Structure 1
Amino acid sequence: MPQLLPFFFTNQISFSFISLFAIIYIFSKYILPVFIFQQVIRMYITKLGS
């Protein structure tokens, strides 16, 4: 049915944008600060060692 084709692409685009924003939010809120904190700890350890 060709009349359903635009709704399929609209659904696909909206789902991809929602999932992209969700992944960006989860990474920026929970995952990436752990790596930044880890790098800061490593920098402090190397400063204390030298």
Structure 2
Amino acid sequence: MPQLIPFYFINQLSFSFLTLLALIYIISKYFLPLFTFQQVIRMYITKLNNK
């Protein structure tokens, strides 16, 4: 049925957009603060080491 092809692409586009938004939220909420915390700990250790 060729008349259903646009709906398939809109469905696929909306699903991929929602998946991308969910991944960005999960990464920014859970993974990025861990990397920031790790960098702060590394800087603190190097400052302690230099004294």
- How many residues were matched structurally? 50
Unaligned 5+ runs, structure 1: none
Q: CA deviation at 1:26?
A: 0.2
Give the TM-score of the pair, scaled to structure 1.
0.97
TM-score of the pair, normalised by structure 2: 0.96
Instruction: Return the offset for 1:4.
Output: 0.5
Amino acid at match of 1:26: I
Answer yes or no: is 1:34 the counterpart of 2:38. no
Deviating beyond 2 angstroms after TM superposition, the runs of 4 or more aligned structure 1 residues are: none
Q: Percent identity?
A: 72
RMSD over equivalenced CA pairs, Å: 0.4
**Gaps (5+ residues) in structure 2?**
none
- What does residue 18 of structure 2 align with? 18
| Distance (Å, rounded) in 1 between the aligned partners of 2:7 and 2:31 | 34
